[in-house]
Chains A and B, each alone.
Chain A
Amino acid sequence: MKVGVVTFPGSLDDADARRAAAVAGAEAVALWHADADLHGVDAVVLPGGFSYGDYLRAGAISRFAPVMETIIKKAGEGLPVLGICNGFQVLCESHLLPGALIKNSLRKFVCRDQVLRIENNTTAWTSDYDANHEITIVLKNQDGSFVADEATLDRLEGEGRVVARYVDNPNGSYRDIAGITNERGNVVGLMPHPEHAVETLTGPTTDGLGFFTSVLKAVVAS
């Protein structure tokens, strides 16, 4: 059971995502942005950070990395993909997920412990949570405000594709949306950081571990 974590130039939470996968019991594999080969991994995490400095738009350049071509193709075939923070931005820029992430409403970087409500526990990454389970994980971002047009938002809600919602919205995200999934439920984008909540020693809780244990089960089941 291998979970690959992509490192783009400017990725920051890649080592953390690998640690979280390992804590969950997976073998973590480092993937390099310029290498289109996924080295046989069973699931992929696009980690947080500021890939390419995010000087253009967050995630706008990373989507063109060779590794992304393979990930986009395999995601269409059902490969579980989790984009965290900058990774969520990359997924939106890659059109694997709808919408976009813009600057926080308060125009400041925000780092805090954040309560989320898990609204869809049927995705590849959330099956270990109870529906409406409230979890506390780390939020830290500059461009974390999720936006989309009304029709898209209605569709996401109608199809049950809102994976997690903020309790006490920190960044102006429309309809308090913290994470969404694709139609198939294998691709999830999440703004807060579950990989920073897998050990009580270094994180606020271990509530984030469920994302990584969920995907292990999803892979075994498939």
Chain B
Amino acid sequence: MSTDTVTNATSTPDVEQPWAELGLKPDEYQRIRDILDRRPTSCELAMYSVMWSEHCSYKSSKVHLKRFGEIPQETPAGKMLAGIGENAGVIDIGEGYAVTFKVESHNHPSYVEPYQGAATGVGGIVRDIIAMGARPVAVMDPLRFGPLDAPDTKRVLPGIVSGIGGYGNSLGLPNIGGEVVFDPTYIGNPLVNALCVGVMRHEDLHLANATGVGNQMILYGAKTGGDGIGGVSILASETFAEGGPTKRPAVQVGDPFMEKLLIECTLELFAAKVVEGIQDLGGGGLSCATSELASAGDGGMRVSLDKVPLRDASLSPEEILMSESQERMMACVTPANVEEFLKICAKWDVQADVIGEVTDTGRLEIDWHGERVVDVLPETVAHEGPVYNRPFARPSWQDELQADGAEKLPRATTADELRATLLQLIASPNLCDKSWVTDQYDRYVLGNSVLAQPEDSGMIRVDETSGLGVAVSTDCNGRFTKLDPYTGAKLALAESFRNVATTGARPVAVSDCLNFGSPEDPDVMWQFTEAIRGLVDGCKELGIPVTGGNVSFYNQTGDVAILPTPVIGVLGVIDDVTRRTPIGFTGEMEGHQLYLLGETAEELSGSEWAHVVHSHLGGRPPAVDLAAEQQLADILINASRDGLIDAAHDVSDGGVAQTLVESALRGGVGARVWAPDNLDPFLFLFAESAGRAVVAVPRTEEVRFTDMCTARRFPHTKIGVITGDTLDVQDQFEIPLTELREVWSATLPAALG
């Protein structure tokens, strides 16, 4: 087949082009023709189709995401060094350190090919972090699956977990948290979100752009192959249809060893100051890297596509532009530094080739063996894609759903019933022990993991001398978001915020991964806009900015969308990690007093109890009071700093019962507790009111602690004492820890082997 050059395109305006197969809509194709004032070449068509896909262009979400800009771009720890729009937001954490973190989705590829889909999800987010000049220090993975007993879950879950472990463990990055959640709506639409945290010195921050006429563009890392061709446009932007053709060839294949070399090589390149800007090649491959680097720069760019090293020599220029082969980066380097750049790459056995240079034309020009195959304004590819104001409307079923509250459902009342309910809940897939999953992840490598799952948040030591550290948590209760997307998004934010504060760190920034169904469905679009409204209002109220994130649409099969799942990652800073607060009740805490902080209301709708015991979803989610969350966070952080508490655990899914069981099993010591006056034992154990935590206070600190709560007028109720080897709920029931552990830890191994 002869090459479709720009000249050829100009002289053959009426050639039929496969725009529909590449995922473009008729008006989008026409728009490309209008921009170019001719038909696109096949290479240009490939680039536009990739870059104008939902995944790369955010065309359905852009108008709503703009609202994040309303939140003041300052964190409680100081100014932001880079914000939304960069590969990842960068936050000043003091002592000259900056932290960058971001969470992204790799949902669709992980359904098609669980191992590689999940593995390359980790790889992609890690490259985003190193492109900023930061050393990756930790990863975590919020995951969602169909029911544990569904046959497809048994295919998807082990593959995804093994892929995350196989890739992340080989990179030497500790996996310190995340979530594993099951719900029927995720059948056929598992969610694989991957978060990475990176640390750098302020002066090491690098932004991705290609500036300086004559500077060389160097492609380094893995060779380009046929994997992942059109992955973005084909996979992430369309709903899976029953009986459709298999899409396996579009999934990328990862090589973590190459990625590990890329990390070390890239950090050495930055340290040697031989790069002007670096961009990773992820979704959109070379199409994305060239157009984004060029449009962020001050000139143009010329690239000789035939200089790209190939794994498969038969690839066409279109395929090279669309390939999503992993472990590749592109750097802008001054001519004087090229030799040193190539030398460092050679040290790490990383292939590097000059494939182009920065020009003064303002255009992105790509040649294939001397013939021009692309001649475009880079910003028309990278940033001026279509923007949709998708119609949205409150779903017709929303009122009925909210009217159907779980508070009216029959509850356990007798001691035996309460005991049975507790055991049924802790054994349920969402509340059971997740170590079948997390034991496949290395949480120790790098030697700075201060806290890791199942703690409330993961915590990493940043500076060994001062003890400065960061904590990260990710959370979302999709059932709450379904019942009320606005409140649900705020609740997700509140939970993540609380989880960070519970460990003693001050929350400073948010990254989100917004997983939703089809944006072409007005119901889904309404959920999306409401969730963003909740997040924006919530972040304003808490005074923390959104520093970056990701949107994943089309998570639905047929008419059934997933639960709206805006996963919220909150990052916190702690001055001295030795002050961190763990969740476990240990032997040294025997006799410590247990206090429940916050108020418990009759809030059962959307709860694990309603889900597990009644298979019910309806009503309104728990009320959210962010001012109270802020107060609770202040108490938890100050109490940690001043040594007033030795353990703390947030109360969320499963209620106080789950909190107590987890803390007791984590540390190996039980508790004797009682329902506070005026609180029904069932609600005490299982209600899921927000803004609560259980803390363990040494007797010697009890007065100081309660004085602090009183001074702040924050509700605090003594509910028991750490003691013995049972969970003893006074006047109700007593369960040995051995029995709790057996029930809690049997579920996943029994289902997954």
Give A contacts to B, CB under 8 Å: 9-10, 12-13, 15-16, 19, 48-50, 52-55, 108-112, 138, 140, 142, 193, 195-196, 199, 201-203
Contacts and interface: CB of A to CB of B under 8 A. Distances in A.
B447 A108 contact: no
Contacts of A109: 162, 165-166, 169, 440-442
A202 B138 CA distance: 14
B169 to A, nearest CB: 6
Nearest to B436: A108
B461 interface: yes
Given A109-B165, A110-B440, A201-B578, A55 B446 contact: no
A125 B170 CA distance: 27
B257 interface: yes
Contacts of A202: 444, 447-450, 461
A146 to B, nearest CB: 20
A12 B169 CA distance: 9
A46 to B, nearest CB: 15
B443 interface: yes
A117 to B, nearest CB: 21
Contact of A10 (B260, B438, B441, B447): B260
B445 interface: yes
Given A49-B172, A50-B257, A55-B257, A13 B166 contact: no
24 contacts: A12-B171, A16-B445, A16-B446, A49-B172, A50-B260, A52-B257, A53-B256, A55-B257, A108-B440, A109-B166, A109-B440, A109-B442, A111-B440, A112-B439, A138-B444, A196-B445, A196-B447, A201-B450, A201-B577, A201-B578, A202-B444, A202-B450, A202-B461, A203-B444
Given A109-B165, A140-B442, 13 more contacts: A9-B348, A10-B257, A13-B172, A13-B445, A15-B446, A15-B447, A16-B446, A16-B447, A49-B172, A50-B170, A52-B257, A196-B447, A202-B447
Chain B contact residues: helix, strand, loop or mixed: mixed
A10 B449 CA distance: 20
Nearest to A11: B172
Given A109-B440, A110-B440, A10 B448 contact: no
Contacts of A140: 169, 442, 444-445
A50 B578 CA distance: 31
The 10 closest A-B pairs by CB, nearest first: A53-B257, A12-B172, A16-B447, A196-B444, A50-B170, A109-B440, A109-B165, A138-B444, A140-B442, A111-B442
A111 B453 CA distance: 12
Nearest to A17: B447
Given A10-B260, A202-B448, A111 B439 contact: yes
A9 B261 contact: yes
Interface in B334-393: 348-349
A109 B448 CA distance: 21
B255 interface: yes
Given A111-B443, A202-B450, A53 B255 contact: yes
Interface in B154-172: 162, 165-166, 169-172
Contacts of B438: 111
A140 B444 CA distance: 9
The CB with the most chain B CB atoms within 10 A, among A10, A16, A48, A111, is that of A111
Interface in B406-457: 438-450
B440 to A, nearest CB: 5
A12 B168 CA distance: 11
Contacts of A112: 439
B444 to A, nearest CB: 4
Contact of A111 (B162, B171, B256, B441): B441
A10 B170 contact: yes
Contacts of B440: 108-111
Nearest to B444: A196
A19 B448 CA distance: 11
Interface string B257-268: 110110000000
A201 B461 contact: yes
A125 to B, nearest CB: 19
A81 B257 CA distance: 25
Interface in B460-509: 461
B447 A195 contact: yes
A53 B258 CA distance: 8
Contacts of B256: 50, 53
Contacts of B577: 201
